[in-house]
Chain A
C-alpha cells in the first residue's frame, strides 16, 4: 500500500541519517529522489508522508526499550523537515505555508492520538519533535545562516527566521493547556525551551512579543481558571511552581518584556497569586537604578528616572471598548454627564467569578477599569511633557478628578478595583509611578469624600498592605507610597478605626 511504501522510505531515511553527516551528498541525493520519485511531489503527498512518518516515529518511541535511544526516529524526522525547509523549491508556495502545513499535520496526528488514547497518551514523542525542530533550526541559523552556501537561499532563510518562530508559537497556542490538558506539562517546557523563549524575547523589533504574550496569557489563564481557594488540584500547584520559575527567569534575563506587558499579564492573574503579581510589577528595565525606597530623604520629583514614562508594548487603548471617547473627552473637558457615562459603562450585566482575596465574584468590569487607569496614566505623562507638571500634579486637573469621581460615585466594590488598578501602576521609578503616587496620596488625604473618607482610606491601606506583607519582591512604588503615608501622619494613622479594629494590623502599623 501507499502507506507501507511511505513507511519504507522513511525507515531508509532514519538509517541513512545516522550514518552520514546531514550535508553529505548522499543525503541530499536521497531527498532529491524523494521529490523526483513522487514521495513529496505535492501537498497531498507531503501530508501522507508526514502522517506516516510521524505515526511510525511515535510508535517507535512507544515500543522502544526505555533505557535505549527512544527518539531516533523522531530526531530523524526533525532533521528531514528542517532540510526540506532549506532545499525545497518555494516558487509555488512559501516556506510559511509549508511550515504551517507541517505543523497542521502534526496537530492532526497528535489530536487523534490523544483523543483515542486519552489517559494512556504520552506527550514525550511530540515534545521531542518540537524540541528537536528548535535545536536543528538553531544549528542552521547561526551567524545569519552562514552555513548555507547558496546566497539566494541564505537570504530567504534570514527573512524567514522570524516567521519560523512566530508560526511555531501560533501552533503552541493551539496546544494550550485548556485545550490539551494531557500535553500541559510538555507545553510549559516548550514555552520555556532554551531554543525558543530567549529567541522570541530577543527577535529584532520585539517581533516575537505579541505571540509570546499570547502564550503567557494561555498559561496564566489555565492557572487562573483552575485555582480555587477551597481546593486546587495538586497538578495545578505544580503548574504554578513551573510558571513561577519561568517568569523569574524572564524577569532576570529580559525584564523589559514583563515591564512593558504588565497590564495584560495582570489581567490574567488571579489576585490571590500576589507574589507572582509582585514579581511582574516589580520588574524594572535593566538600566534603571532603583534607589532605596526606605530612604527617609527620598524626593520622588528629584529622581531622574521618575521623569521618564514607562514603555508600554500592549496598549490598553485597544481594551477601552466604547469608553475611549467618553474618557478622552472627559480628560479634555470634564463634565458630570461624561462621568456618568463612564461609570455606567463599568458595571457588568452578569456576575463574573474571580478568585480574589476576600471575594469570589465581581460586578464590575475589572479589565476595563485597569485599561482606563493605565490609559489615563499614559495620557497624563504625555500631557506633562506637552505642557507642564502643574497640568497633572493638580487636584483640579481632569486627570485627577476622573479618579476622584469614580471613587466618589462608585460602589465600595468599584472603589476597591479602581484603587487596585492605581496600585498596579506603582512600580519602578518612572513617570507613571510618580503621578499615581500623587493620585493615591491625594485620594487618601482628600477631605471631599465626607462620610466615605474612611472607606477610601481603608481600601488604600488594605491594597498597599496586602502587597507588602507577602514575601519579596515588593514594588518600589508601593513601598515608597506606604512610607510617604506613614511619614506624613503616623499618629493619626494608627488611630483610624479600621486599623484599631484589627489588632494584628494595628501592631504592623505601629511597628512600621
Chain B
C-alpha cells in the first residue's frame, strides 16, 4: 500500500504545490532523515 509521501517530500525540500521546481540533489544531505544532521556545503565557484 505504501505510505503517504507528503512528509517524505517535505523532508526532501520538495514542494509539490509550488509551480517552480527546485533542485534537491545538489544539496542532498543523506538518504535518511536520521543522518541528515546538518546542511552540507554544495558546489560553488568563486571567480579569481
Contact = CB atoms under 8 A, between A and B. Distances in A.
Interface of A: 138, 142-143, 147, 188-189, 192-195, 197-198, 201, 238, 241-246, 248-250, 252-254, 274-276, 278, 286, 469-473
A244 B7 CA distance: 13
A241 B23 CA distance: 20
B9 A248 contact: yes
Interface of B: 1-5, 8-9, 11-12, 14, 21, 23-28, 30-33, 35, 40, 42-43, 45, 48
A198 B32 CA distance: 18
Nearest to A147: B48
Residue among B14, B30, B31 with max Cβ neighbours from chain A (10 Å):
B31
Contacts of B27: 194
Given A138-B43, A194-B42, A253-B25, A189 B30 contact: yes
A240 to B, nearest CB: 10
A147 B5 CA distance: 43
12 contacts: A192-B28, A242-B32, A245-B12, A249-B14, A252-B12, A253-B25, A254-B25, A274-B2, A275-B2, A275-B3, A276-B2, A278-B2
A470 B1 contact: yes
A123 to B, nearest CB: 13
A201 B8 contact: no
B14 A252 contact: yes
Nearest to A252: B14
Nearest to A194: B28
A132 to B, nearest CB: 12
**Chain A at the B interface: mostly helix, strand, loop or mixed?**
helix
A252 B28 contact: no
A275 B8 CA distance: 13
Nearest to B33: A245
Contacts of A138: 43
Contact of B45 (A143, A245, A254): A143
Contact of A245 (B8, B21, B23, B40): B8
Contacts of B25: 192, 194, 197-198, 201, 249-250, 253-254
A245 B31 contact: yes
A246 B24 CA distance: 10
B12 A249 contact: yes
Contact of B28 (A193, A238, A473): A193
Contacts of B14: 248-249, 252
Given A192-B25, A470-B2, A471-B4, 16 more contacts: A142-B43, A142-B45, A193-B28, A194-B28, A194-B40, A197-B25, A197-B28, A198-B23, A198-B26, A248-B9, A248-B14, A249-B14, A250-B25, A252-B21, A274-B1, A275-B3
